[in-house]
Structure 1
Amino acid sequence: MGRSSGDLKANRIQIEEKENNGEETVDTEIEVPDGGYGWVVLLAVFLYNFCTWGANAGYAVYLAHYLEQNTFPGGNKLDFAAIGGLSYGAGLLFSPLITVLSHKTSVHFTIAIGIVFQGAGLLLAAFSKKLRQIYLTQGLLISLGLAFILIPSISLLPQWFRTKRSLAMGIATGGSGLGGIMYNLAMQRIIEKKSVKWALIVQFILGTTLSFIALLLTRTRREIVLKNSKVEVQLLDKQLLINLCPWLIYGWVSMTVLGYIILLYSLSAFTTSLGYSSEQGSYVSCMVSVGNVVGRPIIGHIADRYGPISIGVLVHLLVAIFAWAMWIPCRNLATAITFALIEGALMGTLWPILGSVLARAVGLRKLDAAFSTMWLFLAISSIPAPVIGLQLRSNDPSDPNTYINTALLAGFGYFCAAIFLWLLRGYIIARDNSISDSKAVDKDELHIKVSPLALLGGLMTVKSTSQRVV
């Protein structure tokens, strides 16, 4: 089949799949509808994010209650911070196994397992009486649920969207922000009027119902993407491990998540350290979620136009600057709310651009394998992050700079993430310059070598000469 003369508007590409001997090539065509039923799938992913990351963001409400009421004797701040870290990242350690399971069975079956895990964790946590039970339920089981739902679902939208990919991801991941608002405020209200037990039961009913609705709406285009391809998903893909490009992504994700979780879990406690109530602290945490809802779709739209990696570099630098310049000198509630709103809009940029960056770097056919390995690095960074943030703060309640070390580390995480993205941008620009078909996107280009000199040239490039946005 000859190469089509259509451009990005035709949403078609020719992918040359190199065999191991480097001689045989197979031309196949991947069609991406850039909409259609993809908008329904976007709604499904929005609901998944609402019920997982959004619910996880509301953990600060339970944390405050456990500490104030001494709900579980023997439990201290480090225990509950560790539970928060477990709920975020423990399940993601099983990402290679979950990815293989979703390919051996189906996306729907894997997500259904996650919904059961998450529901069981919430329901059992409602009736837990001992600290170890909370570790297992609100920590491990909920984390397994989150992993089984998110790992198969996050690669759905790149199969349905291309030119609107970051916008679609931004809208879908905005579900976590809306969920954070709802769970922070609603669960706080239920705890005040009824009890933690009823808050967890209501969260179980709401999360399970919405997740099953999303499951019914979910459709995958995996068979079309992998048609005529000999690519097989493995526990660990050797080609990804020996290529520099994926490692730059893993570094970016690891440092971003470190800063992200420290910010997310510290702002409520930081507000109370200024002398304000836990309710006012929950309002500050809520502003992070408000920023997520507004900021992620906007950043996704801008990233589609100017390039997800280029925009990512800029936004991550801004998050670091605000963490250092605004959080450290913050001394009143108004500044804390403003800071939370700004950082909330910017700090979750990872999620709207992640699918676009990975597809750009490794191609659609390697997307699941790249996500699988990426989740491992995300888990390793996220599990200890809440404890690190807690340990860095000063133990002197009269110290006005109680959270200065926490703020410095959060900013440092985003600054390092920006450097990794800048290196990735230079690498992909250099790789693009060696490709004759400058209009093609999502090609499997990991076999293309980039010399150190070409990489240096890419790093110094302000605007790519290629027609492909970076």
Structure 2
Amino acid sequence: MTQSEEDVGTDMSQTDNEKSDPETAKAAEQAEKAERTQPTEHYDDPDLDKGYAWVICIAIFILNFNTWGMNSGFAVYLSDYINNNVYPGTSKEQYSFIGGISFGVGLALTPVINYIYGIIGVKTTVIMGNCMQFAGLFLASFTTKYWQLVLTQGLLNSFGLAFIALPAITLLPQYFKKKRTMAAGLATAGAGAGGIVYNLGMQKILQVKSVHWALRAQCIIAFGLIWISIFLIRSRAQHHKIVFTAYDPQVIRSPGFYMLTSYIVFCMFAYTILLYTMVNFTTSLGYSGYQGSIASALVAAGSVIGRPFTGVIGDRGGPITVAAIVYAICAIFTFSMWIPARNLATVYVFSVIIGGLMGCVYTSIGAICARLSGLKKMNVTFSMVWVFMGLAGIFSPVIGLKLKQGSGGYVDPTQYLHCQIFVGFSFVGCSLSAFLLRGYIIARDKVHDDSDTMVDLDGDVLHLGTDMKSVLKGVFQLRSKRIV
């Protein structure tokens, strides 16, 4: 027999064996499919969930302390502006608009800031924000007219906040995966700690000196502390191939984007109005401005404990699921405890509880955006969602004061009833939006599991779609294959 005949015989023998064993061929095909659909993990990176990742967490804690924490201290300034008529001829709505501007205008322009961030890098972006925030508050301390306050404590301070906050909130998901929500909880606790320090500290300076000296002290403290974070932060955007654009049509076409936007807007309505109202609500019960500032500080104190706690629970139960439940609880406490509150003890207890719960949005938003759009398009999703967060933040304080009855400065807690009802129903809307988003992610994950081409849930997942029936089914599904 020739060599070619032997080869032919061997091939025929192999073919016969394959035909005679179809189960083996089927098993091999399934193994190949499983290999294709196995998610690509990044745990070969020594900094993921450990090592320098925790240094980044500390750096973000400091940034949150001196941005969101400091901004929450505006309640002290708002109370002083309104009660002492610091700028004659200015209405309470105009004063509250300063808080809305400082919170929201910069965030509304985050798509542009995200594009700049991609060009100049994380350190330069934060340095620019630090300088703008310092300049805004320092110049505000010398203002004598309302329009000057709008430009300084309002606009310039707002741009500084946004230039710092966007890099801060998008860095953590680059360093964490399994402990992503817990790390966010620990880092965002800095906002609560900052709220305590700046509320009580600036209130004392305001009493001893003046509102202008409080502004000077605040900006100097924040400017110095932020430099610590600037020296510590590092970006890993190139490793994850993160997209830094102002707009992405694929994000706009995703139904999950609108569910996330609804969740953010409702949350900002409730969060901002409640945060800026606690001081004046306490004084409407007949207590002093200092006692009111303690109530505001207790909201911040609650977040120091509550945010890490919701972060740990979020890693176990899923950030979206936990957020939906937390904001349902917030609605219950608003209706059952805040509305009937008529003494200082009740206000203080409510402040601690609601402070520990309502900041869940900052704990969950990083993990939710990464889950919705993947790490690659997380930044652009953040920036596009923050446009709506900024707009909600701008108008929330004004809405809160418009719903308040009377001009303030007198004892009557019922003047805040409409405001409290609005906050309660905003928490309800926030919870329902989160449950709907949860259903969408669960339904989309099922599409992923049935796909041969999708290989990484941290990759580009926006092209995966689902139907409304599957979304609603996912809302009521108690357990899912992956944490949502």
TM over 0.5: yes
Structure 2 counterpart of 1:53: 68
* Residues 5-25 of structure 1: CA deviation (Å, up to 9, x unaligned): 9999x9438xxxxxxxxxxxx
Deviation at 1:378, TM superposition (A): 0.1
Q: CA deviation at 1:273?
A: 0.7
1:165-219 Cα offsets, whole Å, 9 max, x none, are 1110011111110000000111111122222222222112111011111111111
Please show how residues 245-284 of structure 1 align to structure 2 within 5 Å.
Answer: 245-284=256-295
For the residue of structure 2 that corresponds to 1:365, the secondary structure is helix
* Paired position in structure 1 for 2:335: 324
Matches for 1:97-112 after TM superposition, within 5 Å: 97-112=112-127
Bigger radius of gyration, 1 or 2?
2
CA-CA distance at 1:460 after TM superposition: 2.6
- In structure 2, what is the equivalent of residue 390 of structure 1? 401
- What is the TM-score of this pair, normalised by structure 1? 0.91
Q: Which amino acid aligns with 2:287?
A: Y
The residue correspondences of 1:360-399 to structure 2 (distance < 5 A) are 360-395=371-406
On the 8 A contact 2:436/2:472 being kept in 1, the answer is no
SS of structure 2 residue aligned to 1:341: helix
In 2, distance between residues paired with 1:400 and 1:197?
29
Choose 335-344 or 68-77, whichever is displaced more.
68-77
Q: Secondary structure of the residue that 2:415 maps to in structure 1?
A: coil
For the 8 Å contact 2:240–2:375, the answer to whether it is kept is yes
1:12 maps onto 2:26 in alignment: no
Partner of 2:483: 469
How much is the aligned-residue C-alpha RMSD, in angstroms?
2.3
Structure 2: how far apart are the matches of 1:325 and 1:458?
Answer: 30
- In 2 relative to 1, CA 174–398 (structure 1 residues): closer, same or farther, beyond 3 Å? closer
Return the letter of the residue paired with 1:469: I
Q: Find the residue that maps to 2:483 and give its secondary structure.
A: coil
Equivalent in the alignment of 1:21: none
Cα gap change, 1:305/1:5 in structure 2, threshold over 3 Å: closer, same or farther? farther
Q: Give the AA of the match of 1:401.
A: T
For the 8 Å contact 2:75–2:277, the answer to whether it is kept is no
Of 207, 210, 223, the residue aligned with 1:208 is 223
Give unmatched runs, 5+ long, in structure 1. 14-28
Contact 1:12 1:31 survives alignment (8 Å): no
1:344 corresponds to which of 345, 355, 360: 355
Match 2:107 to one of 79, 87, 92: 92
| 1:38 Cα deviation from its structure 2 partner | 1.0
Give the corresponding residue for 2:210: 195
Partner letter of residue 154 of structure 1? I
1:25 is matched with none
Q: Give the aligned partner of residue 18 of structure 1.
A: none
Q: Distance in 2 between matches of 1:159 and 1:11?
A: 13
Contact 1:30 1:225 in 2 (8 A): no
Which whole-Å CA distance do the structure 2 matches of 1:210 and 1:86 have between them?
Answer: 24
- 2:476 corresponding residue in structure 1: 460
Aligned residues: 448
Superposed displacement of residue 78, structure 1: 1.3
Who is 1:16 aligned against? none
Give the SS at the match of 1:155.
Answer: helix
Structure with more helix by fraction:
2
User: Is 1:443–2:459 an aligned residue pair?
Assistant: yes
Select which of 437, 440, 444 maps to 1:424. 437
- Equivalent residue for 1:180? 195
Which residue identity is paired with 2:469? L
Task: Give the AA of the match of 2:99.
Answer: G
Distance in 2 of aligned mates of 1:375 and 1:343: 23
Give the distance between the partners of 1:65 and 1:106, measured in 2 at CA: 39
| 1:157-172 equivalence runs, <5 A | 157-172=172-187
